[in-house]
């Protein structure tokens, strides 16, 4: 049974699936659309469903109330509160609690958690309403154009568990929504149409009623009551009401503005009109967008000039020229797009996402580049900062948290804008090459250009390389990026069924190093005990090692509830015996310190650099630790020092590390989604590691009791490992002390060699540097003075190898360097144009090859580059150059004699070729 079959099944029994008490009470009648055969319910007789209706509320709203965006929310909030609903604060737009999504795409996602590949619902209260900002990037090219598409919008999520206290089902849900439309928005009942539909998603499905007013869908009440797929399903124990309505539309239906953007973005449209100096022709735009609403969905056209065709036909119907229409409409499309994109950037960056080329971050970079391109194309004088400021000023009435991160958002957007400007020259060069070639670019070409060079189609449109952006560009691009890859290390050991879960001593008492346990099962090289203190590999933490009896533990993994110990030698072990177990104490201590240090460094980095810092991944081993953080640029020395300083201050404060288990929902509400630094926790109990409120994370690893136990944290290195991610490598505890001891030893060695004390090391080092610089200068002068004499003796000592008089001089020099041979070689061939000068010089682990060929010798086809190549190849490397000068090298020092013996032959070989 597919979607159509489910739909047919539900519609064949409307009394069971769709008839709600409101319909009977008020006399709603069920009709079938003559055009698309959908069923719908209305008070007035109609033969087509609202899908075929134009938006004739534009310029003529069906209510006397006028609610702007925030106003519409305030009224909705008040209404649902009075009807016994809790109002839940919005969740972040960056979906930290689901591995399969980057961004929150619907209000119901807030309450979905995935456990054992199954979606479960967790509601913080029942019933509730949440104003959830959702991000969707699959309609980017329609934003600003259609009058109703957004990259971010507010979904009012009316949600309840029908079978839990406070819950309700279809009748009450539709009563409430009908009350909202009529009492709150002031819409007459006969204006409202309910359309029968179904919803299938994430392992569950059910019927739904969409409600429309004058062709505009205002909300969709989904009744999720079956779990499984369409072929094999059962009724859920906890049925879910999931009504989602776009706040942007609530406002629009009451205001009747030309587009929904006009009543959604507060004063920003006015602000943009003023800075650009244009004035809205309200009636023209109303008329135009009414046409758009009727035609936008009907055109089944994927060609890139779809929008142009649409506009031409509307211009025709409106009795104006296409040029005239475009002159009025296109600046507004640009304004709307800028308003939408900057608002999305505001929410996303505020919630911790960074523009980049990887993961979900690519969407943000492309939005910002679109905005910058548009501003450039129209040559408008608009500052992004002012736009963000205006958005925040309006939205803070609903989302006060946006104000907190304002400065950090400016930082990120300015940095990204600068990056864009600095790559424009290169982008221009590439664009002019494309224009010269005259090649028609298809979608794949455009995607390649974006992926490899960051060139957006908007830019290409701006510089007239393409006329239109293909409508499927953004869809294709987001498909490429939407797969959230997280490789998991999960070897599966079969045959563990029936074993009871391993008792985890490392959680009960992390200080246990020796314990007795019973061997429950031996599977290959893996031992399963009834209880264990061996910490298994997980969350970037390396496993414990030690002994089970006499058997050395090499690896520990966890599979489901069972801990498996891989050992070297099983001979002393058998099933059912009791056995003594002992952990490698120093190893556990060191790993634990490195682990706790990652928590401290992560928060230190956030406090030092900015709120966008999240843990990207981490690795904790016995000798060192590694923390990858999300950051827009590489770190300079001062930043690294500041992070290290903050971290060591926390160590020295000796703060308590408290570990406590919470219900998942409770921990999320209490500590926010910041707890998910190490990724999603796949259980309904969450272990919260709280370093005295300095750092709070959900974490299953091993930690010290107090930060002072770590002793010391030393950052060894920072490196930008990919766009948007910086790696910190560090040592902590004994490993940090060892590191410093080593450095001290090196310093002692150097100071002794310089004949100085450690205290005066820098002074005497500087003195030595000066002296050696003087010596180098002297040597250069000496070389210049003696090189003519050397050259003469080289010419004299060379061997004639051709009848024409070409001579060869080969030397292996253990004493003087490359620089010397370059000077002398060049001098020699100037003095003797028949000379070939070849020197082999040891350098590091290998050998360098330097070749010069004099002018006369070159005339006989002798090529220095070819000679360098053949010598280098025979030394196990590579080389090349031109006729006069060649260089290269190899790594086989033991081949030097052989190469020297055959040098004449090698040279002659190059002449033959
Ligand atoms: Zn229809
Ligand atoms: Zn931890």
pLDDT tens digits for 249-277?
999 999 999 999 999 999 999 999 999 99
Q: Which two tokens stand for residue 426?
A: 């290169």
CA 195 to ligand 1 centroid distance, Å: 9
Please tell me the number of the ligand nearest to residue 34's CA: 1
CA 618 to ligand 2 centroid distance, Å: 10
CA 57 to ligand 1 centroid distance, Å: 19
pLDDT at 330 over 50: yes
- Peptide bond before residue 577 is cis, with ω within 30 degrees of 0: no
pLDDT at 398 over 80: yes
Give the residue carrying structure tokens 């930690």: 703
CA 669 to ligand 2 centroid distance, Å: 20
pLDDT for residue 484? 44
CA 292 to ligand 1 centroid distance, Å: 18
Please tell me the number of the ligand nearest to residue 39's CA: 1
Partners of 102 in the beta sheet?
Answer: none
pLDDT tens digits for 763-786?
888 888 898 899 988 988 888 888
CA 594 to ligand 2 centroid distance, Å: 10
pLDDT tens digits for 495-533?
788 889 999 999 999 999 999 999 999 988 899 999 999
CA 39 to ligand 1 centroid distance, Å: 8
DSSP structural state of residue 535 = P
Percent of the residues in the chain that have a pLDDT greater than 90, as a whole number: 60
Beta carbons of 550 and 694 less than 8 angstroms apart: no
Residues whose beta carbons lie less than 5 angstroms from ion ligand 2:
699, 701
CA 590 to ligand 2 centroid distance, Å: 14
Beta carbons of 860 and 801 less than 8 angstroms apart: no
The span from the CA of 780 to the CA of 772, in Å, is 12
82-96, 431-445, 763-777: which has the minimum mean pLDDT? 431-445
pLDDT category of residue 491 using cuts at 50, 70 and 90: low
DSSP structural state of residue 54 = -
End-to-end C-alpha distance for the chain, whole angstroms: 73
The span from the CA of 609 to the CA of 634, in Å, is 11
SS (H, E, C) 30-53: EEECCCCCCEEEECCCCCCCHHHC
Please tell me the number of the ligand nearest to residue 49's CA: 1
3-state SS class at 102: coil
pLDDT tens digits for 715-749?
999 998 888 889 999 999 999 999 999 999 988 88
pLDDT category of residue 304 using cuts at 50, 70 and 90: low
pLDDT tens digits for 833-842?
999 999 999 8
Give the residue carrying structure tokens 């001979």: 571
Please tell me the number of the ligand nearest to residue 51's CA: 1
CA 633 to ligand 2 centroid distance, Å: 26
pLDDT tens digits for 885-905?
999 999 888 888 888 888 888
CA 707 to ligand 2 centroid distance, Å: 13
CA distances for 315 relative to 65, 289, 301, 322, 371, angstroms: 32, 12, 18, 5, 27
Please tell me the number of the ligand nearest to residue 35's CA: 1
Please tell me the number of the ligand nearest to residue 298's CA: 1
CA distances for 875 relative to 7, 136, 400, angstroms: 75, 58, 69
Beta carbons of 826 and 839 less than 8 angstroms apart: no
Report the C-alpha dihedral over residues 295, 298, 299, 301, rounded to 10 degrees. Answer: 150
Please tell me the number of the ligand nearest to residue 704's CA: 2
CA distances for 391 relative to 246, 265, 266, 384, 395, angstroms: 19, 7, 8, 11, 6
CA 118 to ligand 2 centroid distance, Å: 26
Q: Which two tokens stand for residue 47?
A: 């033969």
CA 293 to ligand 1 centroid distance, Å: 15
């Amino acid at each position: 049974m597919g979607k159509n079959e489910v739909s047919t099944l539900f519609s064949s029994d409307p009394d069971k699936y769709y008839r709600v008490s409101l319909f009977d009470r008020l006399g709603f009648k069920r009709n079938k659309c003559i055009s698309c055969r959908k069923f719908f319910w209305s008070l007035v007789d109609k033969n087509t469903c609202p899908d075929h209706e134009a938006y004739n509320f534009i310029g003529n709203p069906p209510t006397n109330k006028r609610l702007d965006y925030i106003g519409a929310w305030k009224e909705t909030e008040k209404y649902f509160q009075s009807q016994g609903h809790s109002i839940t604060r919005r969740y972040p737009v960056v979906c930290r609690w689901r591995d399969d999504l980057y961004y929150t795409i619907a209000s119901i996602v807030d309450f979905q958690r995935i456990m054992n590949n199954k979606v479960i619902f967790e509601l913080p209260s029942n019933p509730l309403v949440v104003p959830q900002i959702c991000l969707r990037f699959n309609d980017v090219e329609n934003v600003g154009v259609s009058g109703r598409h957004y990259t971010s919008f507010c979904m009012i999520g009316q949600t309840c568990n029908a079978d839990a206290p406070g819950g309700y089902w279809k009748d009450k849900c539709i009563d409430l929504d009908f009350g909202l439309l009529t009492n709150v928005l002031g819409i007459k009942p006969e204006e409202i149409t309910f359309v029968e539909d179904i919803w299938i998603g994430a392992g569950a499905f059910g019927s739904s009623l969409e409600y429309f007013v004058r062709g505009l869908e205002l909300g969709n009440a989904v009744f999720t009551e079956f779990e499984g797929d369409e072929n094999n399903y059962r009724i859920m124990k906890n049925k879910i009401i999931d009504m989602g309505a776009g706040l942007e539309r609530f406002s629009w239906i009451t205001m009747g503005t030309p587009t929904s953007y006009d009543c959604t973005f507060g004063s920003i449209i006015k602000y943009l009109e003023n800075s650009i100096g244009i004035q809205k022709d309200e009636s023209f735009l109303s008329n135009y967008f009414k046409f758009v609403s009727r035609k936008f969905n009907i055109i089944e056209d994927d060609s890139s000039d779809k929008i142009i065709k649409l506009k031409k036909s509307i211009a025709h119907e409106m009795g104006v020229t296409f040029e005239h229409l475009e002159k009025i409409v296109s600046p507004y499309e640009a304004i709307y797009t800028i308003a939408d994109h900057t608002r999305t950037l505001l929410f996303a960056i505020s919630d911790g996402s960074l523009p980049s080329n990887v993961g979900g971050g690519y969407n943000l970079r492309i939005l910002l580049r679109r905005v910058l391109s548009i501003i450039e194309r129209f040559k408008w004088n608009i500052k992004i900062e002012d736009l963000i400021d205006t958005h925040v000023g309006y939205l803070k009435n609903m989302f006060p948290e946006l104000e907190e991160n304002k400065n950090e958002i400016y930082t990120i957007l300015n940095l990204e804008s600068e990056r864009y400007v600095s790559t424009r020259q290169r982008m221009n060069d590439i664009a002019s090459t494309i224009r010269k070639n005259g090649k028609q670019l298809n979608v794949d070409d455009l995607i390649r250009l974006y992926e490899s060079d960051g060139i957006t189609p908007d830019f290409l449109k701006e510089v007239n390389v393409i006329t239109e952006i293909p409508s499927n560009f953004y869809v294709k691009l987001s498909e490429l990026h939407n797969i959230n890859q997280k490789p998991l290390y999960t070897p599966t050991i079969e045959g563990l069924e029936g074993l009871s879960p391993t008792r985890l001593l490392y959680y009960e008492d992390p200080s246990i190093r020796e314990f007795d346990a019973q061997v429950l099962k031996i599977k290959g090289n893996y031992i399963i005990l009834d209880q264990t203190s061996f910490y298994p590999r997980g969350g970037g933490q390396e496993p414990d090692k030690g002994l089970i009896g006499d058997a050395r533990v090499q690896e520990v993994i966890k599979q489901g509830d069972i801990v498996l110990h891989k050992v070297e030698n099983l001979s002393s072990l058998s099933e059912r015996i009791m056995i003594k177990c002992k952990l490698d104490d120093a190893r556990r201590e060191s790993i634990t310190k490195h682990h706790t240090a990652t928590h401290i460094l992560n928060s230190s980095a956030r406090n030092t650099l900015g709120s966008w810092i999240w843990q990207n991944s981490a690795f904790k081993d016995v000798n060192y630790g590694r923390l990858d953080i999300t950051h827009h640029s590489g770190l300079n020395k001062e930043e690294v020092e500041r992070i290290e300083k903050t971290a060591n201050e926390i160590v020295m404060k000796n703060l308590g590390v408290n570990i406590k288990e919470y219900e998942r929902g409770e921990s999320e509400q209490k500590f926010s989604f910041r707890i998910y630094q190490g990724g999603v926790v796949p259980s309904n109990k969450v272990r919260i590691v709280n370093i005295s409120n300095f750092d709070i994370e959900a974490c299953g690893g091993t930690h010290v009791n107090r930060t002072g136990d770590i002793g010391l944290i030393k950052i060894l290195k920072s490196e930008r490992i990919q766009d948007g991610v910086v790696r910190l490598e560090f040592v902590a505890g004994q490993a940090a002390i060892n590191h410093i001891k080593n450095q001290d030893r090196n310093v002692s060695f150097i100071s002794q060699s310089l004949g100085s004390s450690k205290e005066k090391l820098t002074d005497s080092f500087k003195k030595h540097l000066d002296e050696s610089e003087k010596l180098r200068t002297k040597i250069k002068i000496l070389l210049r003075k003696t090189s003519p004499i050397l050259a003469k003796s080289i010419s004299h000592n060379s061997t004639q190898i051709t009848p024409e008089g070409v001579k060869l001089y080969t030397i292996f020099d253990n004493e003087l360097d490359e620089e010397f041979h370059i000077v002398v070689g060049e001098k020699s061939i100037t003095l003797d144009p028949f000379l070939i000068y070849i020197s082999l010089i040891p350098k590091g682990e290998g050998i360098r090859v330097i070749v010069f060929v004099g002018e006369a010798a070159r005339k006989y086809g002798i090529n220095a580059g070819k000679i360098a190549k053949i010598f280098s190849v025979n030394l196990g490397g590579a080389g090349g150059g031109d006729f006069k000068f060649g260089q290269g090298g190899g790594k086989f020092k033991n081949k030097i004699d052989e190469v020297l013996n055959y040098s004449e032959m090698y040279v002659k070989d190059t002449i033959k070729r």
